[in-house]
Amino acid sequence: MKKIRFEPETDGFHGVFWQTKQKSEAVMIAMLGDDSEDYMVKCCVKWFHKFGVNVMSMSPNKKDYGHHNYPLERIENAILWLKGHGVKKIGIAGASTTGTLALTAASYFPDITLTLAMTPSDFIWQGFMQGKRDGCKEWPVEGESLFTYRGVPLPYMPFVYQHPDYWKTIEKESKRTGDMINSWKLFDDSEKAHPHTEEEMIKVENIQGKLLLIGAKDDVLWDTAKYIRRMDERLKQKAHSCNYDVAIYEHGTHFVFPEGMIKQMVPIGSSLLIKLCFKAAKQHPKECLETRIDIEKRVRNAISEWRC
C-alpha cells in the first residue's frame, strides 16, 4: 500500500495516508488503533480499501496510548491537507475514546460528512495517560481535558476517582465481573458526583452529512447505550441537518466493530478472542456475532450511500 507519513512538527498532525490502488476522491479519517501504523490500523485500512475509500489513520503520537489535551487542530490540519490533494469527501471513524473524538471533531469541522462513532460518549471527560505509574496502568491527568481547540482545553467531566484510586477502581471492578477491563463504575460514579454542564456536551446537532451511532447495552467500559439515547433526544430537540442512525444492541460488548473488520484482524478465532475479553461475549456469543454482522451491513450501506 502506498503511504505518506505526517508528523506534528512538520505537518501539524501525526498520521499516515494510505492510498487505494484505484483512484478515489473519498477518504476516511480512521482513529481505530493506538498507533497510526499498528496491526489494528493496517487491518482497518485494508477493510476500508475494499470499498474504494482512502484512509488517513491518526493517533496522538507514535505508540502514545493516552488521550489528554489532544489538539483538534490536528484533525483540522489533516482535513486541509486532504482537500488540497483532491479529496472531495471526508469521513471519520472512531471507537471507544476515539468514538468520542470522532463526534467532537465532526461537530467542529463541517467538511466531515460521514461520522462513524462506535461506543462513544456524548460528553467530554478528563484526559488520561497510560503506561506504568505506582503500579497503575492508567491514570487521569490533573487539569487536562480529552481535547483542546486553539490552545484551550474543552470543558470536561472530571473523574471522581483520581490517581491511584482511578485505576484501583477499574482493577477491582474488572476482577469482580471477570472482564478484561470494566470501568463502568468509574464513569457512573463520576457522572453522579458531577452533573454534566451544557459546555461539556458534544454538539452533535452541528454534525453534517451522515451520522451513525453504534453501541451495546452490555458494554462494561461505560453506559454508551444511555449516552447514545441522550444524543438521540438531543437531535430530536435541536435543529440539525445530518441524517443520523441510532444502533443500540442488547449484546455486542465494547467491541461493536463490523464483523468483516474483526475478521480482517483475527481471521481465525475472533469470537473466542472476544469471549476472553468480556464475560457478556462468553454468555451470549451468538447474539454478539449477530450484532457485528448487522453492524457490518449498516456501515457498508452508510459508506456506499456516502460515496455516491
Nearest 10 degrees: Cα torsion 155, 138, 68, 76: -120
The C-alpha atoms of residue 240 and residue 249 are separated, in whole angstroms, by 25
Average of pLDDT values for 34-41?
85
Domains in the chain (CATH in brackets) are 2-307 (3.40.50.1820)
Look up the pTM and report it: 0.95
Average of pLDDT values for 57-82?
89
- Percent of the chain whose predicted confidence (pLDDT) is above 90: 87
Q: Which amino acid is at 32?
A: L
3-state DSSP assignment of residue 83: helix
3-state DSSP assignment of residue 38: coil
Average of pLDDT values for 151-178?
97
Tell me: pLDDT of 221 over 70: yes
Least confident of 60-74, 241-255, 283-297: 60-74
Q: Is 194 exposed, middle or buried (0-12, 13-18, 19+ CB in 10 A)?
A: middle
User: 224-264 pLDDT, tens per residue?
Assistant: 999 999 999 999 999 999 999 999 999 999 999 999 999 98
Closest CA to 295 of 225, 263, 248: 248
- When the pLDDT of each residue in the chain is averaged and rounded to a whole number, the result is 94
Helix axes 165-177, 184-193, angle to 10 degrees: 130
pLDDT band at 61 (very low <50, low <70, confident <90, very high): confident
The C-alpha atoms of residue 266 and residue 215 are separated, in whole angstroms, by 21
Buried b (16+ CB within 10 A) or exposed e, 244-273: beebbbebbbbbbbbbbbbbbbeeeebbee
Instruction: Considering only CA atoms, give the Rg of the chain.
Output: 18
**Sheet of 243-249, strand order:** 2-6, 15-19, 54-58, 26-31, 89-95, 112-118, 210-216, 243-249
Q: What is the pLDDT of residue 268?
A: 65
DSSP string, 155-166: P-BPPSS-TTHH
Q: Spell out the alpha helix ranges (H) of the chain.
A: 8-11, 39-49, 73-83, 97-108, 165-177, 184-193, 224-237, 259-265, 270-277, 279-283, 285-307
* Total count of residues recorded for the chain: 308
* Largest pairwise CA distance in the chain: 52
Are the C-beta atoms of 105 and 122 separated by less than 8 Å? no
User: 255-289 pLDDT, tens per residue?
Assistant: 999 999 999 887 666 677 788 889 999 999 999 99
Pairing of strands 152-153, 147-149: antiparallel
- Percent of the chain whose predicted confidence (pLDDT) is above 70: 97
